[in-house]
Amino acid sequence: MAWQTIVETLPPGGDYVRILPELVLSIFGMIIMLLDPVMDERSSQRKLGGIALIGALAGLAATLYQSQQQFWGPAFWEMVRVDAFSVFFHFVVAAVTILVILSSYEYMEVQQIRAGEYYGLLLFGAVGMMLMSSAVELVLIFIALEISSISTYILAGFRRRSAISSEASVKYFLLGSFATAFFLYGVALMFGATGSTSISKIGEALGQYANGGGPLLAYIGVAFMFVGLGFKVAAAPFHIWTPDVYEGAPSPVVGFMSTAPKAAVFAVLVRVLFQGQAPGRVWLIWVAAALSMTIGNLAALVQDNVKRLLAYSSIAHAGYLLIAFAVWPQSDPKNGISAIMFYTAAYAAMNVGAFAVVGHLAGAGERYVTLEDYSGLAKRSPGLAAVFTIFLLSLIGIPAFGGFFAKFYVFAEAARENLIGLLVIGVINSAIASYYYLRIIVVMYMREPREEEPVAAVPPGLGVALGLSLAVTIFLGVFPRPVLDYLTRSVEQWH
């Protein structure tokens, strides 16, 4: 009898499919954690990496399975929602995880890092990010955010012998905890203002106000939530941690945490701002976008450390992406949302690729990360230099690469919304940005190498990761059509 009540209170079986990728990844993460202590330490790295890879691939397969229309809809008492929108972000997170695992393989051996928890944490982080993109309830979003954040705090400190890595981890942890506290505070205020933590109910409550307004409490709530989320995507003025953490953290981890959690947080922002009818969002976003682009780009101009340079560049890119969020309450956000999704995918491909190259060149202990170390790379390793150049050109936004269309859609969105000021700031910034990316290319191609020794050959795992991200970067730049078609369709079903 008691057994039956328990069974009745359980959610229906279909609900589990709606969190299938998260389940799969969690199981694999736990397997890795359990196997790690019983395996021989010297040989465990490759095996555990292999299991992690299989796990991530299984997560990807689960996402594909989940993407069938029959599974779309709410689950777990309207806490998560599977639709084309969340499936897209699941896919991005899974793909990034695969790429990062592939590029970590050799890196871990070179850096002599113990592998067990590393791969486990990567998978757990991915679980949090996936859950973030399908959660439609603020408390669950908070939990997912914490799952993802705590994994990345630890991952940032994985080069234990290096002081800056530990510094990065502590800094990230302390500041990140403040930021999530702000988010939680915002959630509480939202609850006070609308009586619910479900985003759709909040949207209904706030939708009654004309012209995207709301009670004062909701304004403050949105602002506080934005502090927390803005911190995670490294949007100015909550970006201060970024360069230090990116400099200290292991390069593949930086590739991971500069793309996958950002994608997930942007998905949350889409839901909170648009579905939640957040009041005052346009100006909030306007200021954050303008600041992020300008601060990121200006600071990047003077960097001599490639990792710091790319850190500032990622702040700037968060700024470009935020432009697409600046949609007036009375107009339809659908175009903006597909621009956001496209940008997320393109940025993930090129940035993971760029950091994979950086990680490979850095050598043991990440010694070679200054601009000087890249001089004459075209002579020492022509292939790697060419690949890196393509990623950088894509980051500049040169036609024929994904970054171009990504920026283009975002700017087109600003023009459509008549935000000419933001548009002009954006285009001026993207011109400024071309300088510092170009500096790297110039150093690689037009300077003599400082030391003649050739770069270590590209290991197979890294090669596959680079090839895949390169293919996606070029594909999105030449044939953006199929992806856009998919995005447009998925946004149609979004509500």
Partner 1 sequence: MNGLDRSILTLVTFIPAAGGVLLFFLPRRDREIRWFAFLVSLIAFFASLHLPVHFHRAEAGFQFETNSRWIPTPNIHYHVGIDGISLWLVVLTTFLTPLCVLISWRSIHDRVKEFFVLLLVLETGLIGVFVSLDLFLFYFFWEATLIPMALLIGVYGHGRRVYAAVKFFLYTMVASVFMLAAILWLYAKTGSFDFVTIQSAIRSGGVENFVSAAQWLFLGFFIAFAVKVPLFPFHTWLPDAHVEAPTAGSVLLAGVLLKMGTYGMLRFNLGLFPKQSHANAGWIAILALIGIVYGALVAMVQPNMKKLIAYSSISHLGFVVLGIFSFTQSGLNGAMFVMLAHGISTGGLFMLAGILYERRHTYEISEFGGLATPMPTYSTFFLFIVLASVGLPLLNGFIGEFLVLSGAFQAKAWWGVVGATGVIWSGCYLLWMYQRVFFGQVKHEENHSLRDLNVREQFALWPAAVMALVMGVAPLLWLNAIDPAVHNVLAAMPQMIAKVVSQ
Q: Where along the sequence are the contacts to partner 1 (CB under 8 A)? A: 335, 338, 393, 398-400, 408-409, 411-412, 414-416, 418, 420, 423-424, 427-428, 430-432, 434-435, 438-439, 442, 445-447, 480-481, 484-485, 488
Name which of 372 and 485 has its Cβ closer to partner 1: 485
Which residues are registered as beta bridge partners of 135? Answer: 80
- What CA–CA distance (Å, rounded) separates 119 from 53? 9
In angstroms and rounded to an integer, the radius of gyration of the C-alpha atoms of the chain is 22
Q: How far is the CB of 422 from partner 1 (least distance, A)?
A: 11
Instruction: Give the residue from 92, 32, 96, 30 showing the smallest Cα distance to 63.
Output: 92
Q: What is the dihedral of CA 349, 355, 361, 365, to 10 degrees?
A: -150
* Residue placing its CB nearer to partner 1 in the complex, 244 or 417: 417
- Which residue number, 42 or 481, has a Cβ lying nearer to partner 1? 481
Pairing, β 80-82 against β 73-75: antiparallel
Give the residue from 461, 365, 457, 352 showing the smallest Cα distance to 103.
461
Q: Which is nearer to partner 1, 346 or 393 (CB)?
A: 393
Q: How far is the CB of 424 from partner 1 (least distance, A)?
A: 6
- 268/419 with CB nearer partner 1: 419
* In the complex, least distance from residue 489 CB atom to partner 1, rounded to whole angstroms: 11
CB of 472 to partner 1, least distance (A): 17
- State how far the Cα of 174 lies from the Cα of 178, in Å rounded to an integer: 7
Looking at the Cβ atoms of 217 and 442, the one nearer to partner 1 is 442
Shortest Cβ 442–partner 1 spacing (Å): 6
Beta-carbon contacts of residue 474 (< 8 Å; ≥ 6 apart): 390, 400, 401, 402
**Partners of residue 137 on adjacent β-strands:** 198
Which residue number, 140 or 423, has a Cβ lying nearer to partner 1?
423
Taking the complex as a whole, how short is the minimal distance between the CB of residue 339 and partner 1, in angstroms?
Answer: 10
Query: Tokens for 434?
Result: 């071309």
Distance in Å, CB of 25 to partner 1, minimum: 33
Choose between 205 and 444: whose C-beta lies nearer to partner 1.
444
Task: With beta carbons less than 8 A apart as the criterion, state whether 444 and 356 touch.
Answer: no
Alpha helices (H) along 112-137: 116-134
CB of 488 to partner 1, least distance (A): 6
State the DSSP code for 77: T
- Minimum CB–partner distance for residue 450 and partner 1 (Å): 16
Which string of b and e fits 304-329 if b means at least 16 CB within 10 Å? ebbbbbbbbbbbbbbbbbbbbbbbeb
The least distance separating partner 1 from the CB of residue 430, rounded to whole angstroms, comes to 6
Task: Return the number of the residue (409 or 494) whose C-beta is nearest partner 1.
Answer: 409
The DSSP line for 363-428 is: TGGG---BGGGGTTHHHH-HHHHHHHHHHHHHHHT-TTSHHHHHHHHHHHHHHHTT-HHHHHHHHH
User: Do 483 and 345 contact (CB within 8 A), yes or no?
Assistant: yes
Among all chains, which residue has been given the structure tokens 């639709």?
Answer: 83
Comparing CB distances to partner 1, the nearer of 139 and 427 is: 427
